[in-house]
Structure 1
Amino acid sequence: MKLIKTMPILAMMFIMLMVSCKDKDNNDDDPTPTEDVAPTVLSTLPENNEMNIARNHNVVITFSEEMDPSTINNSTFTVEQGTADISGDVEYSGVEATFTPTEAFDASTEYTATISTEAKSQKGMNFEENYEWNFTTGGSEASIEGIDLGASGNYVILAKTAINNSGTSALTGDLALSPAATSYITGLALTDNTGYATSAQVTGQVFASDMADPTPMNLTTAVENMMTAYNNAAGRSETDFLELGAGNIGGKTLTSGVYKWTNTVTIPNDVTISGSSTDVWIFQIAEDLTMSSATNIILTGGAQAKNIYWQVAGHATLGTTSHFEGIILSMTGITFQTGASINGRALAQTAVVLDGNAVTQPAE
């Protein structure tokens, strides 16, 4: 009787032993969990075959694991245009390597980036094969077309709501205000004439929407043209330089092209704009433009103020005794602090505020 009762127990123990042996046999076929594998690429910036890349874009590669930093350098991480090597600096941190070109990439050009098999992981494992990817820059190889100012280009200052002056300014060129009336032009001691006014501070004429015909119609057209020019500048999509200097362009030399920022742009130090007399610069600024006191924009190589366009969605402020070059197209206001000067135009969709400034229209 005891033998009969113990038989089920023995059967169960036999089954458990068989299962254990089978699991052991299966585990013998599994690869060791500590086996080393070659590193791989998780992602790249730009992505493979990505188009319209800004010419100042860095090239970034993200690895599947930490790499041996001594093997991530200009020999193992390269960028080429055709068969020509591109000069740049390589930095490695965490699981990312960044290639920063010494000079901006060419416009509308395809480039090839490569991480070679000489790159090793921290475990000493090499890439199994070279990893390559391509990207193409944006911008235009041809000359950039300037902005048509239309009738707004007849004025050195054009505003919609007010032109306010303090101190004694020296304004060379015509001034205009519309749809606001003459009373919103202050601090210039105007002398009324038929269809225009004059001022001892203005080498030119002053116009407002409530003056005699044909001034009101002329100013309506000028304001419409100013807004069209603003939209033209803001709408240029062939971006050459994106977020240059994270918005701080002090100390930089700017070659011709379309520049775009999604934030505020500051000029804390002198800036050089370098190019020929036919080169064009378009600066698209999504927020404010602020220039520090006693700083200058310097033109070299024949660059001309009439070909430099600053499209500013926010407020443009030129600091005390600063000097500015180019045409400001502001959706908001333009403020010249004490003694600031400009060789260009101030075209604002609200007010222009002056304080003892020299404002001179650019040579044509």
Structure 2
Amino acid sequence: MRESGTPGRGGRAAGQRGKGLALAVWTAAGVLLLGGTGVGYVYLKLNGNLRSLDIDQALGADRPAKVDNGSENILVLGSDTRSGSNGRLGGGADDGSARADTAMIVHLYEGRKRAGVVSVPRDTLIDRPACTDADGRTHRPARGVMFNSAYTTGGAACAVRTVESLTGIRMDHYLEVDFAGFAKLVDELGGVEITTTEDIHDPDSHLSLKAGDHTLTGEQALGLVRTRHGVGDGSDLGRIQLQQAFVKALADRVEDLGVLTSPKKLYDLADTATKAVTTDSGLGSVNELISFASSLKGIGSENLTMITLPVQYDPADRNRVVLDEAKADQVWKALRGDRPIPRSATEGTATGEAGDVVDAA
């Protein structure tokens, strides 16, 4: 998989490609740089939209220690309740269940000049630890279950517990975006332009695109970041590659529309985003989000590494993947030490074979 600092297929320079990690994180989390809105009625309106969870209270003291080296780690999830407007947008039966279809561990290095993003395939087989959810219910541990079962079982608190158990790294913050809100954000931007190098057809995600240029609606964009059967080898790894390509396309769209310089566009997007986002209590106000987003503005694509968690296909079931423990350990050691993720950590691991399906340049 190409790192984000490498020029894309369309030849756009690396510096133009990223425009900072802030857009990538807020795309996944549903927040698009809320700076400049924290006054009067607007502040109260946006602040009232936000939902937050006291993850620290739910997890208690039995957690990896905070590392006092200036770095910070954030778990970013894209969730889908499979009910209401999410159900109408496809991706599964309207059964009211909650699922985490997208998961990223974002590591901000000391000084906020570099960042690493590790996408975690939802189909990774892991040992889920015992956990207590935000309502105080205790859930027993389970062996050999899919990664996204942690969220389905116990929500955000169990997802954070599982990631901390998997990595040995404390998650300083948690951000979650509802997929229906994600689709509305794309529509308010007027769509997002991409080019597909081959046909994509996946009835499960309500997506059908011919090879060529497209301006995706919110529903189509949601189908693209959900699809797995229509691209690559049909695994969740291919979906992750499409998600990373779409983040770039969305960042380009935001820049082209001048969202960050138009107060009305900024407010409309912030209003939608804050209705869709859930955070830990440490980021549970507009002021905290503004401060956090501002700290990311200096991170350009040349200092951004995006990888998929090192995994291999499960020999017993090609629809599942298993952790490549030796290579994953390289990733976790690097992040714990606030060091760059070595290239060797992803060499020879499963990819999904969908890296060239979407050209967002």
- Taking structure 1 as the reference length, the TM-score comes to 0.23
Where is the strand percentage greater, Structure 1 or Structure 2? 1
Q: Which has the larger radius of gyration?
A: 1
Name which structure has the greater RCO, CA cutoff 8 Å, separation 6+. 2
